[in-house]
Amino acid sequence: MQKPAPLGFGLGLRPNYYAEILSGEPNIDWFEVISENFMGRGGRPIAILEQIRQNYPIVLHGVSMSIASTAPLDFDYLRALKQLADRFQPEWISDHLCWTGVHGVNLHDLLPIPYTHEALDHVADRIQRVQDYLCRRIAIENVSSYVTFAESEMDESTFLRELAERADCWLLFDVNNVFVSSFNHGFDAGRFLDDIPAERVIQLHLAGHSDHETHKIDTHDQPVIEVVWSLYAEACRRFGEVSTMIERDDNFPPLSDLVAELDRARRIAASAPSRAQGVAA
Amino acid sequence: MNLAALQSAFQAGILSGDPVIPPSIEDGPRQDRAARFMAYYDAYRLRLAECLSNEYSALRDRLGDEDFGALIEAYIETRPSRYRAAQDYCRGLPDFMRATAPWRTQRDIIDFAEFERQLSIAFNAADAPSLAIATLANVAPADWPALTFAFHPSVEMLDLLQGTAQAYARTRGAEDAQCSQETPAADSETILFWRNDGGVFYRAIDAGERLALAEAAGRSNFAELCAALAERTAGADVTAQAAAFLGRWFNDGLVSKVGVGEE
């Protein structure tokens, strides 16, 4: 099992930056595209994605697969995702370890799960079915969470490690999410990172968050903070050369600010001696 | 509690008017369980409210923040989202207004919302080619009566309260007004929406063009379209009028396909 070749340092593709990306040559190696923004839709956004795809690799990142829901898998969604992937040929497809609703309702959020053996069986089975349908391994991302459940039987990092092995999927490791959850729940982010199997990690997310003193919220509306940069450096040492990107979804700064953050990520990655093995058993 | 029961309780707690904290949730290092759950309770409402504000920014400007806030709060509390994309959830707002007091008697506001919704639908409609009028040069004269048309997926006509399009244009500012002044003096106006080259357009159309477009979209051929126009105008020769409509439809980028004798 060979990991996909690293793409370098990328950015979440957002409409605010379309013109600048198309008219210039910002130092961005690839783009992450929110799948749902383009599924089943036409018009200018699709035309722009066509243009960008001609010049950059892309990955598709979803927010609605609801892989941990106890509702049936949504094959209409998967069909639309497959059509989008067939058209734009992403390097890979990712979504979150979460659920978005049950009983036909969608809460439009990345909702947390209890880390139980039942949930592990359930989610691993669903990932395998999705991968069979899409004919490819997908990457699953750890989410920021704001609650914990009395039912949990293991910690999140153990759950993720077991899930990746059982489902035979990739992992998208969100550095900021680990920091946010570690603050909210009081665990050690460094130890969390040590539990994650490096051979499964094909992408890293960096982002900012909002600080509410008693808790932190993953809002993607601020620069990456110093402690997350430090955790990123540790992730680079732990995981080796991995495609890295910055998510920004609100309070948009000039594109040059985000490019500067990517440059910082490049410098950190370049200076981090790798402990990782690039090939899984 | 198993996973299914936990998810049902979690969702019910978010959707209830007053938050109901699922029993599974634990206290955290700095927050009690109720405070922790509120992050999800509030996020659901904020996310949908933000999407509604973006999708109906002109309606928000027209109603003002307070009245618009009351409208979308009522919508969010009584209509849980059943859509994968929040944007699709937003599309239900005019229908909610039509069915719910006090908005259901306010046709001007309902139609204004419907107008704005149609702009969004047109913007996101599926892609299809827009044929040039030169396409018709390849049609043999004998084939004209059997000529049929298919329109771009963004093309839609709405019958709205007279003045709705101009009210929208005023709200958006004159530079955004793309609506021609062809509106007849009547209670309603028919507005045609479409997308061309990524831009969304609209214009008022008269009863004749409305009929012709409905016939053509319903797969009537050119002869049948002309017959329908002639019936409306008591048998007058309407070929020139139909040809003028066709010319404008092509120039506006409305026509995606022409065929001869196709059903």
The answer to whether A103 faces chain B, any CB pair under 8 Å, is: yes
Whole-angstrom Cα distance, residue B80 to residue A211? 29
Query: Is pLDDT of B119 > 80?
Result: yes
CA torsion angle for B2, B7, B8, B13 (degrees, to 10)?
A: 130
B128 neighbourhood in chain A, CB within 8 Å: 42
Range with lowest mean pLDDT among A39-43, A48-52, B81-85, B187-191 = A39-43
Measured between alpha carbons, how far is residue A130 from residues A65, A82, A90, B99 in Å?
9, 10, 16, 39
Contact B191, B179 (CB under 8 A): yes
Q: What is the pLDDT of residue B263?
A: 56
Range with lowest mean pLDDT among A3-17, A97-111, A262-276, B31-45 = A262-276
Over residues A272-281, mean pLDDT = 56
- B39–A217 CB contact, under 8 Å: yes
pLDDT band at B96 (very low <50, low <70, confident <90, very high): very high
- A42–B153 CB contact, under 8 Å: yes
- B11–A107 CB contact, under 8 Å: yes
pLDDT band at B17 (very low <50, low <70, confident <90, very high): confident
Query: Is pLDDT of A228 > 80?
Result: yes
Q: What are the strands of the beta sheet with B156-161, ordered from one edge?
A: B156-161, B188-196, B199-205
Whole-angstrom Cα distance, residue B102 to residue B100? 6
B7 neighbourhood in chain A, CB within 8 Å: 69-70, 99, 102, 111
Mean pLDDT of chain B: 92
The residues pairing with A94 across neighbouring beta strands, listed in sequence order, are A61, A139
Token look-up 């001007």 returns: B108
Q: What is the pLDDT of residue A276?
A: 56
Over residues A132-140, mean pLDDT = 98
The answer to whether A107 faces chain B, any CB pair under 8 Å, is: yes
| CA terminus-to-terminus distance, chain B | 57
Separation in Å, CA of A94 to nearest CA in chain B: 17
ipTM entry: 0.94
What phi and psi, each to the nearest 5 degrees, are found at residue A254? Answer: -55, 150
Q: Which residues contact A224 (CB under 8 A, 6 or more apart)?
A: A176, A206, A207, A208, A232, A246, A261
Could you say which of A104, A108, A118 has the minimum Cβ distance to residue B3? A118
Separation in Å, CA of B180 to nearest CA in chain A: 23
The answer to whether B58 faces chain A, any CB pair under 8 Å, is: no
Q: What is the pLDDT of residue A131?
A: 98
Query: Is pLDDT of A61 > 70?
Result: yes
Separation in Å, CA of A185 to nearest CA in chain B: 6
B10 neighbourhood in chain A, CB within 8 Å: 111
Over residues B191-213, mean pLDDT = 95
Query: Is pLDDT of A59 > 60?
Result: yes
pLDDT band at B262 (very low <50, low <70, confident <90, very high): low
| β B188-196/B199-205 pair status | antiparallel
Separation in Å, CA of A159 to nearest CA in chain B: 15
Q: What is the pLDDT of residue B174?
A: 53
Range with lowest mean pLDDT among A222-231, B146-155, B184-193 = B184-193
pLDDT band at A278 (very low <50, low <70, confident <90, very high): very low
Q: pLDDT digit string (tens) for A64-76?
A: 999 999 999 999 9
pTM: 0.91
- Which residues of chain A from 122 to 151 reach within 8 Å of chain B, CB to CB? 122, 146-151
Separation in Å, CA of B102 to nearest CA in chain A: 26
The answer to whether B85 faces chain A, any CB pair under 8 Å, is: yes
In chain B, the percentage of residues whose pLDDT exceeds 70 is: 94
- B127–A184 CB contact, under 8 Å: no
B2 neighbourhood in chain A, CB within 8 Å: 118
**Which residue in chain A is spatially nearest to B4 when comparing CA positions?**
A70
Q: What is the pLDDT of residue B177?
A: 45
Q: What is the pLDDT of residue A51?
A: 95
Query: Is pLDDT of A256 > 60?
Result: yes
The answer to whether B21 faces chain A, any CB pair under 8 Å, is: no
DSSP 3-state of A95: strand
Query: Is pLDDT of B64 > 70?
Result: yes
